[in-house]
Amino acid sequence: MKNLFAGLPDDQTQEHFQEFLALPGAKLERIVSYGQSTPEGEWYDQDWGEWVMVLQGEAGLLLEQDHTLIHMKPGDQYFLPANCRHRVEWTLEEQPTIWLALHLKAD
Amino acid sequence: MKNLFAGLPDDQTQEHFQEFLALPGAKLERIVSYGQSTPEGEWYDQDWGEWVMVLQGEAGLLLEQDHTLIHMKPGDQYFLPANCRHRVEWTLEEQPTIWLALHLKAD
């Protein structure tokens, strides 16, 4: 996967998680969303830090703590420390939303 | 720096390196180039791995080993292992080139 905007998956009925670089302390992943969101009532709660950025499209990232809803547009980035409970409230339905996610090993 | 496309430095006479996230094992940096390249005859030779991506603009990334010149366009990404000698041959002069660089701690 040389280019992160290219080769988007055809199947738009689900989100696609594609890890493209795995190193001892970190891994990089492209996530392509076609209007999906985290299932109702579910939260991501991870033992590792995750940095995310939106490359294309838009999304709503909700943090459980203080109920902050972050509207993410292309170029927007945010760091989620380990155990920062969060969910994706929505992604654009009109076009793919492409995320770049960096997962960092817990120390 | 919420958005990596925003707040570009005014001074176009030099490249700008802005670290925006520092963690124990990794740091993230935005690099903005205005036509600059690595000085003639110089190579980056780092003890740590570096992953780079072009977000906007274009650049030529030269690897010393086998003299590969990689034309980097928006969305293109490349991983440079530790001690992979490289240099930036050129960046666009007509518009800013925005890089995202992830520096990983040497293991």
Query: Does residue B107 register a pLDDT over 60?
Result: no
What is the mean pLDDT of the segment spanning B57-72?
A: 96
Average pLDDT over all residues of chain A: 95
Domain, as residue range, for B68? 17-105
Phi, psi (rounded to 5 degrees) for A75: 95, -15
* Euclidean distance between CA atoms B99 and B105, whole angstroms: 19
- How many domains does chain B divide into? 1
pLDDT at A52: 98
Residue A104: strand, helix, or coil: strand
pLDDT at A78: 98
Residue A4 lies in a domain: no
Burial category of B84 from C-beta neighbours within 10 Å (exposed 0-12, middle 13-18, buried 19 and up): middle
ipTM of the complex: 0.93
**Which single residue is written with the structure tokens 């670290």?**
B19
pLDDT at B55: 98
| Per-residue pLDDT tens over the stretch B3-27 | 999 999 999 999 999 999 999 889 9
Query: Does residue B41 register a pLDDT over 70?
Result: yes
Residue B44 lies in a domain: yes
- A interface residues, B as partner, C-beta within 8 Å: 1-6, 20-21, 23-26, 28, 49, 51, 53, 55, 73-79, 100, 102, 104-105, 107
Q: Write out chain A residues lying below 8 Å of B28, CB-based.
A: 51, 102
Residue B5 lies in a domain: no
Confidence of residue A31 (pLDDT cuts 50, 70, 90): very high
* Euclidean distance between CA atoms A31 and A106, whole angstroms: 21
Burial category of B58 from C-beta neighbours within 10 Å (exposed 0-12, middle 13-18, buried 19 and up): middle
pLDDT at A106: 64
Query: Does residue B84 register a pLDDT over 90?
Result: yes
- Assess contact for B73 and B54: CB atoms under 8 A: yes
Residue A2 lies in a domain: no
Q: Write out chain A residues lying below 8 Å of B24, CB-based.
A: 107
Amino acid identity of residue B53, one-letter, is M
